[in-house]
Structures are given as structure tokens and as C-alpha cells.
Amino acid sequence: MPGSKIRPSKFSAAKKKVSRKQRAAVSNQKHLKKGIACSKDSKAPPQSLLLANFKQDWTFADVATWSDLKAKTLLRETGCLPSPREQLTCWQCGDTLVPASSSSRSSSTDALDTLQCPQCRTASRHPLKLCNAKHAYTVFWTSMNRGFSPQYKLFVRTAFLFGIKVPLDSMLHCVGDSENPVGRDLLRKWIDFCKFALAFCEIEDQQKILFKQEIVEMDGSKTLIHKGTSKTTWLKRNPRFPQKSRSFLKKPAAKTQTVSTKRGTGKKAVHHGRMLFVKGRFSKQCVALPIRPAATRHGAPSPPESNQVVKKALRRHVEADSCIGASDSGQALKHGFKRAGIPAAHARHHLDEMTPLVSIPKWKLSDKQRKTLKDAAKSSRGGKKAALEMKTVFQIVGGDNATECEVNRTKSQLRRTNALGRGSPANAHVDQLSARRLLRLPGLLNVLNAIGNVRNKVKLALGHEPKDFLVLDKHSSWLFE
Ligand SMILES: [Zn+2]
């Protein structure tokens, strides 16, 4: 509604001049009269699976009765645990690890389970050793170094509950029993492992998505604002060994985006969990690309998408020659579509214009783009159509309605597991990506398969130490690639 004030005007950006004539011309209803919809009837598979309709081979009551052995078998089948004859390689040089020589073995009980590299040495010139080698690159390894024995059945219970979107505080009452109590810290760690694995697989799956012959929508979002801080650093929480003061170092160059302190309180706020969503209206597929955090003035709206991010997304996921764009009037989005040669239909949100009817002249379209819109203008009897063909133009609904829904879907999943606005900023992206994957692929097996998939990818990778396995602080390059 024009005139409604959600945010005090002192925080908002400089007002764009809106003439009365312009405002009067805005209508969000025109497409309804012409029978055009944002999407057309398609046979695309649904992008989410209702948990109520989802069937698993087991219920939680079954899983709770499993012994450690049965749980271990399942973990081995899904690749979360290695097969008995698996050979590991050194993460520094790539050589196959050999059993530790008797002289260098420690006297502890795990002496037989220690491997060493024939070449590499540690700083103290001892051979590079790997303890508890049978559990290297598994979710149990870090706890075993602290003397715990692996608790397979408890982990499987946790993964089951995580797979059906049970929040952590509820999980605390379900996983442990009177003989095997489970602490909050261990549970949180296991859940973080699961989230990492799902997010990793989600990013991997997204890379294969290429939109062809589509109306492609684009929009950014965020999930978390940290106030009272001026640090945009992320993944640097609670260092175990605090860094020495670096005051003697030269100060880094000022950021290009300086925050003026004239207006408002002068405090900054950092926007975390920013994502760029790209969605195809017909295939219903969606790509969620993580964007690095950014700072603004306290109370100001979210910073816009950057040119670079939009350009990367368009180049990777959109076949420019055959697609039509739709978005809000963000500068980077407009610019990105234009640069890529994609005609786009924008909505102007500052005029409260959400679903405008936009005409795209035919001469602006390439042959493939024209075909895309021709197909969109056809409809089965009584069905929806996404475009209207006229003599010299095509008319479509502009705006970013489908991506806004996608943001909503993601946030409601986070809200469901108590993860919206209260998680660590470092986990903000992983939380979203894993929640999105659970929408499509819920259940125990999907969670375990994801962990198995990550294990397969990293166990032989050079430079990936066993202690880095599924730890975001150590292994985060895949997130912003
Ligand atoms: Zn080595």
C-alpha cells in the first residue's frame, strides 16, 4: 500500500521521484483479465515432498531398538563408514599409508589401529601418524581422539530425527536412553555434520542445473542480521588459541562500501546468510547461490545483489540465448540481464508494483527466445498460459514472484527447526542449503548417503586432513566457488 510505513523514513534510501501519473498507471491485476499467469501448466516434478506422504522403511520406534552392529552395517552400506579393506592415502604427499612400525607405536589400546606415512614427518621429526585409522574421515573420529568409543546406534537415531526435521531441543529427549545418555554438545556436533553433508550435496547438485527455454527469475535474500557488531568476518568464531595482536600490521584499505554515520544511530548491522535465488518458472527448478555477508547502517534495508554475483549466476545457470528474464528493479539484476542479452520484465517495488504486465517487442528476441515465448503462449484447454502473443509484442507477467516463494519456503523450513535468526552467522548458508535439500529429499537414507558422498569425495583428496572432515571452518571453499 502506498504510504504505509514499516520502516522509519530516516533509514530508507533517497526517495525516487514518483509522479502521480506513474503511480496511477501501476496495476497488479492486468494479467488476470488477460488470462496470463506467472507459470504455465507443466509436468515438472514437484520440488518438495510432503513429510506426511513420505514413507521410510523404518519408523523411529524400529530404529531405536537397533543394536550397534545393525547400525554399523547400515552406516557401512551407505558409505559413512569405510569398508574393512579400505586403503587410505597420506593427506600431505598422497602415498598409501602403512601400519605404524612397532617402535613408534604408542602403548595405548589403539596401537594396532595406527597408520603412518612412509615419507612425511611432523615438525618434531616423528613419522606422520594417523590414530584410529579405521574411523578416519567418519563422524566418530574426533570424539574417539578424546577417548570415546563410537556410538553407531545413537548416531543413526540422530540422523533419523534430523532427516524428519526434528529440532535439536526435541532431539535431546529422543536420542539417548537410560544406558546411553547423549549430551547437547555431541548432538549439536552430529547435526552440524549432517547439515554440512546435505549442503555440500545440494551445491553439487545445483551445479548441474542449466535453465533452457524458460522465464528465469532472480532475487536476493538474507536470513540473519547481526547488530551491534561491525565485523563482516565469518567462520572466525571462538578461536581456540586467540591470535596475537596484529596492531603493528598496516591497516587494510578501506572498503569501497563505506557506511555514513550521519543518519540513524551510526551503528552498523551485518547481513548474514545472503543468497541469490535463480528459478525457472516452467521447470520449477531453483538454484540458491550463497553470497558473502555485507554491512549496512543499522536499520537500513538489505544491501542489493552485486554485479559480480549476478553475472556468475547467469553465466553458469542460464542459457542466455533461449531464456527470458524476470526480476525486481535491482540495479545489478537489470544490468546483468542486459549484459547477457536476455530481455527481462521487471517489477518496480518502490511503486508497489508486484505483478506488472510487461510487453517485450519481438524484434528484441532471438529465434530461440521467440520460440520460448511462443510455447509459453500455448496452453492446454482451460489451462494456464504464461504469455500472450500479439502482433509485434509478447506480453508476460514481470516480477520475481516465484523466487519470493522460494525464499519463503526456505525460511519456513528454518523456522520449523528453530534455526531462523538464532544460529551462528557462520552456519547461515549451510542451514539454508540443508533445509532446502530436506524439502526435496527427507529421511534417514538421504542423510546417510549425503555423508557417504562427501566421504568419497574428500578421503583421498590432498590437503584434506581427517580432522577437517565435515568441519565448515576448515573446509568451506565449496560454498562460494
Ligand atoms: Zn606423506
Ligand 1 centroid distance, CA of 97 (Å): 8
Average pLDDT along the chain, 481 residues, taken 10 residues at a time: 54 66 76 77 79 92 94 95 90 89 56 84 87 91 85 95 94 91 92 95 94 91 74 49 50 51 62 92 91 84 89 93 90 92 88 85 92 84 78 89 90 90 85 94 95 93 89 88 76
Ligand 1 centroid distance, CA of 355 (Å): 60
Contacts of 311 (CB under 8 A, 6+ apart): 336, 339, 340
Ligand 1 centroid distance, CA of 116 (Å): 8
* pTM for the structure as a whole: 0.85
DSSP codes, 397-446: E-S-HHHHHHHHHHHHHHHHTT-TTTS-GGGHHHHHHHHHHHHHS-SHHH
Q: What is the pLDDT of residue 155?
A: 95
Nearest to 227 by CA among 271, 260, 291, 292: 271
Ligand 1 centroid distance, CA of 131 (Å): 15
Q: What is the pLDDT of residue 228?
A: 61
Ligand 1 centroid distance, CA of 75 (Å): 28
Ligand 1 centroid distance, CA of 91 (Å): 6
Q: What is the pLDDT of residue 408?
A: 92
Ligand 1 centroid distance, CA of 389 (Å): 66
Q: Residue 243 belongs to what H/E stretch? A: none
Ligand 1 centroid distance, CA of 93 (Å): 4
Nearest to 369 by CA among 334, 414, 322: 322
Ligand 1 centroid distance, CA of 99 (Å): 13
Ligand 1 centroid distance, CA of 130 (Å): 11
Q: What is the pLDDT of residue 339?
A: 92
Ligand 1 centroid distance, CA of 140 (Å): 23
Question: How many residues are given for the chain?
Answer: 481
Ligand 1 centroid distance, CA of 104 (Å): 16
Greatest alpha-carbon pair distance for the chain in Å reads 88
Ligand 1 centroid distance, CA of 160 (Å): 37
Ligand 1 centroid distance, CA of 465 (Å): 11
What's the Cα-to-Cα distance from 180 to each of 71, 73, 236, 336, rounded to whole Å? 15, 20, 33, 55
Ligand 1 centroid distance, CA of 179 (Å): 41
Contacts of 7 (CB under 8 A, 6+ apart): 299, 301
Ligand 1 centroid distance, CA of 96 (Å): 8
Ligand 1 centroid distance, CA of 451 (Å): 25
Ligand 1 centroid distance, CA of 120 (Å): 4
Q: What is the pLDDT of residue 108?
A: 54
Where does 97-158 show beta strands of DSSP type E? 98-99, 115-121, 127-130
Ligand 1 centroid distance, CA of 455 (Å): 20
Ligand 1 centroid distance, CA of 112 (Å): 19
Q: What is the pLDDT of residue 3?
A: 47
d(CA 374, CA 157): 52
Q: What is the pLDDT of residue 418?
A: 87
Ligand 1 centroid distance, CA of 462 (Å): 10
Q: What is the pLDDT of residue 263?
A: 47
